[in-house]
Copies of this chain bind each other. A is one copy, B any other.
Amino acid sequence: MTAELWAEQAGAPIPASPPARPDAGGQRQPARQSSLKRHNLALVLGELTGGSRLSRAQVAVRTGLTKATVSSLVDALLDAGLVVEEAPERGAVGRPASPLSLNRCGPAGLGVEVNVDYVAASVVDLTGEIRAHEVAGGDDRSVPPEHALRRAAALARRVERAAGADGLAVAGVGVALPGIVDADGRLRVAPNLPGWRDFPVVECLGGLLGRELPPTAAGNEANLAAMAELWYGGRPELRDFVYVSGEIGIGAGIVVDGRLFRGVRRSAGELGHVMVDSSGPLCGCGAYGCVEQFAGQEALLRSAGVPAEAGSALANPTGAVAELLGRARGGDPRTLEALRRAGTALGIAVSALVNLVDVPTVVLGGLHAQLAPYVASAVARELTDRVVGAESWPVRLEVSSLGPGAAVRGAAGSVVRDILDDPGAWLLGVLVGA
């Protein structure tokens, strides 16, 4: 059990061989050969991610491998159920080509998200498409952690059954949590879930789900939403960005060169607790004036005068956030002023993030993606005013299209990305029945 994967799975190359030890000479040859095959399997499969349909010959051209090598690798990937080969298509000239693509009925990833006011579960297939999804509102601050995890486990079983009926077998479970998660899947601290301090989420969820649905990793929800944006956001050129994940809490996932920047203790991106007004209200973290107290969901509803209720936009699309949006569309001055203030506060905090971490693009996700028409201009103004060098290099402000389910999709996606990044390990598991 390890969450070490989170930082590595974003397309980090698998070395063709372990680093040579000085004077080790040729003794490592067998290991090198097997590592090379493992590398080449990932190379071939990598050509088929992002929706590509390619013939064996096209894969050979793109990878630089010989056709014979590609064919033996493709046969192994077909046997393992990771790719499918369609019936031959006759091209303009020459032999008919049989396009290869990722197997939509291959191993699937199951994501579980436990957040402050909802739990969610999703299954994604190898292509990252969501094949089953469930969400249930409910305030997890008012119940013991075990209770919330039982609700999450029940959702997980339902999406697993739904995916199974669709021909999919779940290969692993990823867990998204609204706080700092350690390498053992323990929630170290979550400012909005004070009763969960040092709670062993993965161990407890593993006990509830049993051996057939093993949690394989856990991570922070903003980080996983950022990975979902990287993998499934429809902007393959976007390799350096921060994803702002707004719910009741506010977090950020920092992606640099297509990899998650996680910090030293896996807690980088705690955007919600950047101070924006020292005379502001007390925050769940114990400090005053954190951005969450101005731009988080409950703070925003309070400031707009909309009655809050448990269940975020993900759990309850007709709830308080919909009411807030309706009032904004209707031009309600109090609501518009609350949104403008939230945008300014968020912009101040995100400017600090850009000044400190130096990423050229900010992607608004979750709550703030929904609210973008009313908050984005205030955020952009702060970025222009506060980011050093913004005159030369304007910060790009984008809005995520993934919707409020990005984190649970990222948690599910991390399972299939592990398989795509190292199909050799998956093949070995199939062979030895592990």
Query: Which positions in A face B, CB cutoff 8 Å?
Result: 13, 15-17, 19-23, 32, 36, 39-40, 43, 63-66, 69, 180, 188-189, 191, 198, 240, 252, 254, 256-257, 261-271, 273-278, 285-287, 348-349, 351-353, 355-360, 385-389, 391-393
Q: Given that A16-B20, A20-B16, A23-B66 are known contacts, is A263 also in contact with B392, CB under 8 Å in the complex? A: no
Residues of the B chain whose Cβ atoms lie less than 8 Å from the Cβ of A355: 267, 270-271, 273-274
- CB pairs A–B below 8 angstroms (24 shown): A16-B20, A21-B64, A22-B63, A22-B64, A189-B388, A198-B392, A256-B264, A264-B358, A265-B360, A267-B355, A269-B356, A269-B358, A270-B358, A270-B388, A271-B355, A273-B388, A275-B351, A275-B386, A276-B278, A278-B348, A285-B386, A286-B385, A349-B352, A352-B356
CB distance from A56 to the nearest CB of B (A): 15
Interface centre among A19, A66, A357 (most CB of B within 10 A): A357
Contact check: which of B63, B69, B358, B360 meets A262 at CB < 8 Å? B358
Which residue on B lies nearest to A254, using beta carbons?
Answer: B356
CB distance from A354 to the nearest CB of B (A): 9
Residues of the B chain whose Cβ atoms lie less than 8 Å from the Cβ of A391: 189
Contact status A65-B22, CB under 8 Å:
yes
A271 to B354, CA, bound (A): 10
Q: Given that A22-B16, A356-B268, A358-B265 are known contacts, is A191 also in contact with B388, CB under 8 Å in the complex? A: yes
CB distance from A93 to the nearest CB of B (A): 27
Residues of the B chain whose Cβ atoms lie less than 8 Å from the Cβ of A188: 389, 392
4 new A-B contacts at CB < 8 Å, known A22-B69, A189-B389:
A16-B21, A23-B65, A189-B388, A266-B358
Residues of the B chain whose Cβ atoms lie less than 8 Å from the Cβ of A276: 275, 278
CB distance from A321 to the nearest CB of B (A): 25
Residues of the B chain whose Cβ atoms lie less than 8 Å from the Cβ of A43: 22
A40 to B194, CA, bound (A): 52
A17 to B18, CA, bound (A): 11
CB distance from A54 to the nearest CB of B (A): 17
Contact check: which of B189, B257, B286, B352 meets A275 at CB < 8 Å? B352
Which residue on B lies nearest to A264, using beta carbons?
Answer: B240
Contact status A356-B270, CB under 8 Å:
yes
A386 to B288, CA, bound (A): 8
Q: Given that A276-B275, A278-B348 are known contacts, is A265 also in contact with B393, CB under 8 Å in the complex? A: yes
Contact status B22-A386, CB under 8 Å:
no
CB distance from A407 to the nearest CB of B (A): 18
Residues of the B chain whose Cβ atoms lie less than 8 Å from the Cβ of A21: 16, 64
A353 to B352, CA, bound (A): 8
A388 to B285, CA, bound (A): 7
Residues of the B chain whose Cβ atoms lie less than 8 Å from the Cβ of A16: 19-22
Interface centre among A64, A257, A356 (most CB of B within 10 A): A356
Residues of the B chain whose Cβ atoms lie less than 8 Å from the Cβ of A349: 352
Contact status A189-B23, CB under 8 Å:
no
A198 to B389, CA, bound (A): 11
Residues of the B chain whose Cβ atoms lie less than 8 Å from the Cβ of A69: 22-23
CB distance from A262 to the nearest CB of B (A): 7
A197 to B45, CA, bound (A): 47
Residues of the B chain whose Cβ atoms lie less than 8 Å from the Cβ of A264: 240, 256-257, 358-360
Q: Given that A191-B388, A273-B355 are known contacts, is A20 also in contact with B17, CB under 8 Å in the complex? A: yes
Residues of the B chain whose Cβ atoms lie less than 8 Å from the Cβ of A389: 180, 188-189, 265, 267
A360 to B268, CA, bound (A): 11
Contact status B388-A352, CB under 8 Å:
no
A180 to B391, CA, bound (A): 13
A393 to B270, CA, bound (A): 15
